[in-house]
Amino acid sequence: MTLPDPLTDQHRYISNASQDVSEMLEVIGIDSIDALFETIPDDVKLKELLNIPGPWSEIESRRWFRALAAKNLTAVDHVSFLGGGAYLHYQPACIDQLLLRAEFLTSYTPYQPEVSQGTLQSIFEYQTHQCLLTGLDVANASLYDGSTGLCEAVLLAERVVRNRKKVVIAKSVHPQYTETVRTYLQNLGYEIVEVGWTSDGRIDTAALREACTSDVFAVAVQSPNFLGVIEDYDAVAQIADAAGAVKIAVIAEATSLGILTPPGAHGFDIVVGEGQAWGVPTQYGGPFVGFMVVKDALKRHMPGRLVGETVDVDGKRAYVLTLATREQHIRRGKATSNICTNEALIALAANMYLSLMGKEGLREVGQQCLSKAAYLRAELQKIGSVILPFSGPVYNEFVVRTPFPADEILADLEHQKILGGIPLGQFYEGYDNEFLVAVTELHTREHLDQLVAALTASISRERR
Amino acid sequence: MTLPDPLTDQHRYISNASQDVSEMLEVIGIDSIDALFETIPDDVKLKELLNIPGPWSEIESRRWFRALAAKNLTAVDHVSFLGGGAYLHYQPACIDQLLLRAEFLTSYTPYQPEVSQGTLQSIFEYQTHQCLLTGLDVANASLYDGSTGLCEAVLLAERVVRNRKKVVIAKSVHPQYTETVRTYLQNLGYEIVEVGWTSDGRIDTAALREACTSDVFAVAVQSPNFLGVIEDYDAVAQIADAAGAVKIAVIAEATSLGILTPPGAHGFDIVVGEGQAWGVPTQYGGPFVGFMVVKDALKRHMPGRLVGETVDVDGKRAYVLTLATREQHIRRGKATSNICTNEALIALAANMYLSLMGKEGLREVGQQCLSKAAYLRAELQKIGSVILPFSGPVYNEFVVRTPFPADEILADLEHQKILGGIPLGQFYEGYDNEFLVAVTELHTREHLDQLVAALTASISRERR
Amino acid sequence: MTTQLIFEHSKRGRRGYRLPALDVPSAELTPSLMRDEVADEVEVSEVDVIRHFTRLSKLNVSIDAGLYPLGSCTMKHNPRLNEEIARTPGFALSHPLQPDRQVQGNLALLWHIERTLMEIFGLPRVTLQPVAGAHGELTGILMVHKALAKSGNARKYILIPDSAHGTNPASAAFAGYQIKELKSNSRGTVDIDTLAAAVTEDVAALMITVPNTLGVFETDIKRFADILHDKGAYLYCDGANLNSFVGIARPGDMGIDVIHSNLHKTFSTPHGGGGPGAGPVGVSEKLVPFLPTPTVEQAEDGTYYLDHGHPDSIGRVRAFNGNFNVLVRALTYMRSMGPDGLRRIAQIAVLNANYIRARLRGSYHLPYDAPSLHEVVFSDKLQTAKDVHTLDIAKRLMDYGFHPPTIYFPLIVAGALMIEPTESEPKEELDAFCDAMIAIAKECEERPELVRSAPHTTPVRRLDEARAARQPVLRWRK
Amino acid sequence: MTTQLIFEHSKRGRRGYRLPALDVPSAELTPSLMRDEVADEVEVSEVDVIRHFTRLSKLNVSIDAGLYPLGSCTMKHNPRLNEEIARTPGFALSHPLQPDRQVQGNLALLWHIERTLMEIFGLPRVTLQPVAGAHGELTGILMVHKALAKSGNARKYILIPDSAHGTNPASAAFAGYQIKELKSNSRGTVDIDTLAAAVTEDVAALMITVPNTLGVFETDIKRFADILHDKGAYLYCDGANLNSFVGIARPGDMGIDVIHSNLHKTFSTPHGGGGPGAGPVGVSEKLVPFLPTPTVEQAEDGTYYLDHGHPDSIGRVRAFNGNFNVLVRALTYMRSMGPDGLRRIAQIAVLNANYIRARLRGSYHLPYDAPSLHEVVFSDKLQTAKDVHTLDIAKRLMDYGFHPPTIYFPLIVAGALMIEPTESEPKEELDAFCDAMIAIAKECEERPELVRSAPHTTPVRRLDEARAARQPVLRWRK
Ligand SMILES: Cc1ncc(COP(=O)(O)O)c(C=O)c1O
Ligand SMILES: Cc1ncc(COP(=O)(O)O)c(C=O)c1O
């Protein structure tokens, strides 16, 4: 295969052109680029070009991708009440423009601290925010997301307790998180025990007590849970402690940490969660950012990267990746995790968001979510035949039940330009008439009233 | 008037809060901010707040401004053939993201060269591009736009020739440019003589010869002119030279310089024009960027800023604002222009665009515009009753005539999601059935065929 | 490498772009009309271009990196929301020659920013066409000329204080007037008597900056207006310093007939290394008929339209509709601030300037002691003894990581150091700046040569500016 | 100032945000559920935040500023178009739990990038769920495990060459296997006999990087596959180095059963200071039934849907749909390059690496002389004589304005300097880098202490890393 004359179709992302190529070949002392590929056996070499589209100009790419994007129904032209682990919150304008600075966007993992202090210091600040918000001692630089974060938390717990075989996970933990844990654990010989909920939507403590046998190494609950209900951390902690199990709190709606008492205040050992709610777009599920915060005693079991403070030879304060002996590039098969690339840029965005909102803003966001959810619940309950099945306290999300299949109701709302919620039937047997509704500070009272009116209309249509 | 307690409503763009304020007042030795405003007489002080909306959060601003933008009909969801001095060309993706770098976006005029080499070197490069493209010797750092650029060119010409009273401007120069010149000259005692066109759409050379009397200090023609027709520079130059008048070429479609012989090659003294076509969005007319390039002999008469090369104390090459004695901050009432703030950021964008497209791209853009216009003209002429009234050569824009009022035809095209062109009647008496159509490399053959089909339909509708 | 010109990166065959393949027959013109390829234009990859401009950017300082205290330039925080809103496709892709019905959003926006400026100015109408302060000055004086001419005599002179910015006389001259300069008094302001004496029958207007370029408010401004109006002359206010009194007092209430505002100063639109800007002009009743055409009006039915029907208009001062997308940014900012926020701007801007004044007055000479508002002007008088001058002090500041203040302006102060911090700056930043200035004053005493030879840490050091002007090299050549 | 923490900028009463006023009654929860304000959280203005992060950014180097030759990391040009496309609101605001009918655009995009990767890999299906290379490794090995288990015996061991990246053994262990390490031969590759001997009945798979971490291609790869397949074992390829042969040869044609590709390497998605990434995994027919669920399928009518019905699937490896917006960037890049462009990537990446190899071989020791592709690994053997080591050379490079190569990896090279330039780099940049490396080699001879004490020009100098680990300070405290 010979290089087509670059002059015929030189590519904009590849600097060197034919003149450069010949100059370089001469220095190397060969007369064609092909000579460099002789170690690849001819019988595996392609005899022709790949059969894929392109090359496209930016003009053509814009047309094609924008046309695809236009096929999606989104919050762009609908009022959306979708949550379930991905929330549309306020995104401060400066964050995205700062993220586009090449110094943040294009740099690699900060292996060389002298030329990476920007990234390192930001991670150190991010770690600090996580500690303040969760009430625990040590946070890492980020994990892939909330679901894989829970996997890492469970594995961490096992490393700490040792020689136990069961992990108890509340049925009201995000079902896709639990699914992911199931995948991660499948060959490791651990058993997952799920515990359901009672009529208030909180974990069934009686069942939990039963489940917490002496071979349980960890108990994981989510709060607010997947039904939107805020769990009773103390009740759970008590039972887990009695069994000597590690207490794991899962946070799927990060802004709740701005107003709800943090797991750390209730003696939880590990808080793991999804940071997307901190102003990150929902972008069909990724990239998001997983966070993990643990008690100091567990820090050497922590998965992922950690940034620590130190000094340089001049005594100047500086930051560096540390406690690396936990990690795969040193420990290899015995590492605390296999993670290498993480979600650094999203963690940076979260650091920016948390800094902009600050002490006052984090609380105000929580207060607004809380208040708008309360208002919407009250209004919905005025609709005959709409039921809010769970009586437990909620933050910004809750379950709605109507006498009709949620899929039909939501399809009807869609025609009214409303993305009304997430049908629960796909996650829980026998919940075909229920759907999850989430609100944030982005919803105006008009938006909420719109949903109430639209839902009323949908229901009456269904009656016919 | 007292400062409301910042804690009650501290603003995000103002850093100092109540604690800072009191610390600072103490250092100053006064006890309220009001004391600092005592030099403003009470009887002119406002007794209440201004009656304007706000403060708005980013959330509220996004809602309001996006709702306004959504009220416009634009190329976002229409095929647009609008030109007339503002053209929608390809905008390379990297340019806007580079412009957002604070070092470019937020810096001031480079008065302090040691900390402004980025801006200064870029202007020097921009000046070089202008010289290469126009075939003249010295370019400035930018002017407001093409129309005010023409004003500056006319005044420059007068400074050079002296003691003459008339300037000849082709009627086919952008009418709003000429209007602007009329405004600028109104108190200076000069007369503007307009010269029309012949059936080919080029300037009427006979009339021009007549107009070029001995008291004419300058002749200005635009090419391609407002009718889209390419002028015969040599014919014009000959006549102007005979009268000893300064020859000014106006460029309203900058990409034409990539493929048409430049005015400099025809002995023109001044080229002035609008750089928007170099990848700058049409954004309802501004910000755009005016460019001016002159023969070396005229450089000390040049309006606006000039960047020159020099060395620093270590002999290192560097760039600096130079020949400042022409400018208002030194010459004050006798300056070559009153311009201070110019369009630096747009000139930077133009430098980026010209560098990305380069030698090959500038020609290809020209070639594509030329070819697509030719194709569309041929197709349009197949529609019975569509006439292309001017026979002269064109680049990417031309006049179309139908038997019906252009306003009606264009309104009908609008309903077919096409912004079909610019009605000429608003600029020229008796041209109510004519409109200007512009194409660029962004138009696909399908777009062009769409216009042909739509126009055919509109005309047949009109017939009924 | 950093300082190579893009032209010097050029290498045969490189390419920074791609266009879709031509999908129609390739056309030709008669050869005489077509040029050869643009000789010496660049051939570089996209990588080359991004590297080049990223490296160039690193040679600049920016407001996002720190204090940028250029006096008279109002280098304040440039909110990123403004950039986002201006890029909304419905604005960015709208075309200047679309019929009114297709651009109701744009027209509504123009109508609203005019209303907001009318309220801020306390004046009945505002033109949004001028794209910079100087452009606004020309527009304003042209209106004055037309109004006077209409009433029989355009008159000869514009009065301008010696403290004025250079664009004032330049604009007045372009509008067809001669300039008479007014001497400032010991406070740096204009004496009422000096003015009264100067306002003769052939004076068209006084062009004055309020507060003036020393940051000092013209306390007699209303009486100035009376004197001028009695003589049938006009009061033009250069509004470049509006940041110091926005929301606190209104030009219209001071008897001002014309004022321009640099939206790229008071209203936060970014300076972009020299532009773009916008310089809307507000006028009193008498001048309304002479506003540039077209104006933006609202019809009964609530729709908006461009009104070209103003027989007495001076005409248009620019093609199309001014720097529309700068106006979008400015209105976004006005809405973000609101009435209280706008007033707070002035209050904190003035507080910040006076804090610097208080901290530096021991170390630098204050030529005019009158109370100042948003900026403070020192001189190098205390340092010249050691043969250290304003330029040296400015350059030395760079070594401390600060952009220098405006220097040698206003002209009425020998060796002026004109400092304007704006309301954006946090106290810590002001303190760091003052500490640097004080340290430099000390260096002037103890190590003057260190200051004289500054800067020492910048990408390039002091330039041979004389050479640049003597043998101008204004473009690259192969 | 630059290195202050955001928490240290905090000042009572400052504020960096505004929300719309609450337009519904303010609600409460039982006090026990509500926390007090987050103690010690920051109070700063937007200006403070933008200043802070702008200054932090200046402490980083970036690919847009110059060569970033981290071996194995493929630091190539990150096109800005990808960023623009990923921000299209229709993508950015789509929600992961929307029903298929509402997200046909997203599903079509996923379907197309899978098809493109299938063609690049030469394999029948690809999962897009893994969000990084290591995540893909785990996914791939889990599939191998499930497949073997299904056929009766999941087996015990994964074979991994000693040159492998740390994530390989870590991922294998997480998937439930023990690791057997294979010694590399003198070429740095795996000997066919060594492999044959190692592949026993309880070996599940060989996990090998092609080309390996020395950049050397495993010429026997097809025979490796035969040996493994004969024993019912699988061949896993770590595709981190795909950039060296994309479009030139296909893993599927080499008998590879599983491969992950780091889209943040070969397909240009930005590294963001450590992430995000994406690690799609392609598999051979035998493994298709075990792919993570859901898969993206196209129905007769051309619509797309998520298929959850795969009884043998290993399950999902992450909530939702992987790093969708990283996939958007990667597909944009694949389309920009096209078939010829993708092949050109490999050709020029390999050319660039071999150019560096040719220019530096006199100055630095080349521990493995076998022909290498996209990267070249030198050692500090020639410099240790003067007691200068790889770390010193790396730090010294910073003084010359370059980011160092990957160091001390692969582990089979003592004092490794692993250099990968990628195809983006222009010859001038490669020359500047080589000149610097050669100059440093000279310094090692003449002024070793200068190198040993480097860097001298960076924002901070060498750090006390031992202290950081000994007394960990992992968060700020008031
Ligand atoms: C006092 C004063 N007047 C007028 C101007 C000119 O305004 P512009 O640069 O917007 O044309 C300036 C700008 O520096 C100024 O400071
Ligand atoms: C050879 C090799 N394998 C695996 C990995 C891990 O990939 P990731 O960082 O995407 O998880 C890397 C990344 O550095 C690598 O270079």
With both helix axes pointing from N to C terminus, report the angle between B406-415 and B445-463 in degrees, rounded to the nearest 10. Answer: 120
Residue A404 has pLDDT above 90, yes or no: yes
**Contact criterion met (CB < 8 Å) for C59 and B118:** yes
Question: One-letter amino acid identity for B186?
Answer: Q
Query: A329: pLDDT confidence band, cut at 50, 70 and 90?
Result: confident
Candidates A58, A64, A104, A360: best to mutate against B (most CBs of B within 10 A) is A58
Put simply, the answer to whether D47 touches B6 (Cβ < 8 Å) is no
Question: Kind and range of the H or E element at A346?
Answer: helix A344-381
* Residue B242 pLDDT level (bands cut at 50, 70, 90): very high
Rounded Cα distance between A454 and D330, Å, is 40
Flag whether pLDDT at A6 surpasses 70.
no
Nearest Cα of chain D lies from the Cα of C325 at a distance, in angstroms, of 20
**Residue D303 backbone class (left: φ over 0; alpha: ψ -120 to 50; beta: rest):** beta
* pLDDT one-digit tens code per residue, C323-382: 999 999 999 999 999 999 999 999 999 999 999 999 999 999 999 999 999 999 999 999
| CA of B369 vs chain C CAs: smallest distance (Å) | 9
Judge if the beta carbon of residue D133 lies within 6 A of ligand 2: yes
Instruction: Work out the number of other CB atoms within 10 angstroms of the CB of residue A383.
Output: 16
Helix or strand (DSSP H, E) at D283: strand D281-283
Rounded to the nearest angstrom, the minimum Cα separation between B335 and chain D is 38
- C274: alpha, beta or left, given left = phi > 0 and alpha = psi -120 to 50? left
Mutate to test the interface with A, among C6, C9, C15, C62 (most CBs of A within 10 A): C15
Give me the pLDDT at residue D1, please.
Answer: 44
Residue A38: other Cβ atoms inside 10 A: 12
Sign of the C-alpha dihedral computed for residues A48, A52, A53 and A55 taken in this order: negative
Amino acid identity, residue C351?
L
Given a cut of 50, whether residue B6 has pLDDT beyond it is no
D72 lines ligand 2 (CB under 6 A): yes
pLDDT of residue A133: 98
Give bridge partners of residue A80 from the DSSP assignment: A419
- Which two three-digit tokens encode residue D86? 């990923």
Residues of chain A positioned with their CB less than 8 A from the CB of C47:
13-15
Mean pLDDT of chain A: 96
CA A170, CA A275: separation in Å to the nearest integer? Answer: 21
Interface residue ranges in chain D relative to chain B, Cβ cutoff 8 Å: 11-20, 43-48, 54, 79-81, 83-84
Q: What is the pLDDT at residue A327? A: 85
Q: What is the band of C3 on the pLDDT scale with cuts at 50, 70, 90?
A: confident
Q: State the smallest CA–CA distance between residue D77 and chain A in angstroms.
A: 7
Alpha-carbon distance A81 to A419, whole Å?
Answer: 6
Q: Which atom of ligand 2 lies at the shortest distance from residue D264's CA?
A: 10
pLDDT at position B404: 97
Given an 8 Å threshold on Cβ–Cβ distance, is B94 in contact with D81? yes
Chain D positions touching B13 (Cβ under 8 A) are 45-47
User: What residues in A contact B57, CB-CB < 8 Å?
Assistant: 90
D271 lines ligand 2 (CB under 6 A): no
**pLDDT tens-digit map of D104-155:** 999 999 999 999 999 999 999 999 999 999 999 999 999 999 999 999 999 9
Q: Say whether pLDDT at B278 is over 80.
A: yes
Nearest residue of chain C to residue B287 (CA atoms): C323
Contact A121, D1 (CB under 8 A): no
Phi and psi (nearest 5°) for A170? -60, 140
pLDDT for residue B7 is more than 50: no
Place of tokens 């998180």: A177
Ligand 2 pocket test: which of D262, D374, D377 has the largest number of ligand atoms within 8 Å of its C-beta? D262
Q: What is the pLDDT of residues C297-310, one digit of tens each?
A: 999 999 999 999 99
Look at residue D2 in the predicted model and tell me its pLDDT: 52
pTM exceeds 0.80, yes or no: yes
The full length of chain D comes to 478
Report yes or no: A197 and A392 within 8 Å, Cβ to Cβ: no
**Closest CA of chain D from A213, distance in Å:** 25
D240 close to ligand 2 (CB < 6 Angstrom): yes
Query: How far, in Å, is the centroid of ligand 2 from the Cα of D240?
Result: 6
* Cα–ligand 2 centroid distance for D467 (angstroms): 28
Burial of D478 (0-12, 13-18, 19+ CB in 10 A): exposed
Contact by Cβ (8 Å): D424, D77: yes
Kindly give, in sequence order, each residue whose CB lies less than 8 Å from that of residue C366, ignoring residues fewer than 6 positions away.
C357, C376, C377, C378, C379
Contact partners for chain C, using 3 or more CB pairs closer than 8 A, are A, B, D
- Burial (CB count <10 Å: 0-12, 13-18, 19+), residue B86: buried
**Consecutive H or E run containing D223:** helix D221-230
Interface of A with C in 251-270 (CB under 8 A): none
Please name the residue that has the structure tokens 């509220």.
B60
pLDDT tens readout for residues C171-197: 999 999 999 999 999 999 999 999 999
Atom of ligand 2 nearest to the CA of A341: 9
Separation CA C337–CA B12 (nearest Å): 9
The yes-or-no verdict on residue B8 having pLDDT over 70 is no
pLDDT in tens, B289-305: 999 999 999 999 999 99
pLDDT above 90: percentage of residues in chain C: 99
Q: Looking at residues D78-105, what average pLDDT do you find?
A: 98
Residue C279 Cα, ligand 1 centroid: separation in angstroms? 9
Q: Where are the beta strands (DSSP E) in C210-352?
A: 234-238, 258-260, 281-283, 295-298, 304-307
* More reliable by pLDDT, B333 or D246: D246
- Would you say the CB of residue D269 lies under 6 angstroms from ligand 2? no
pLDDT of residue B5: 46
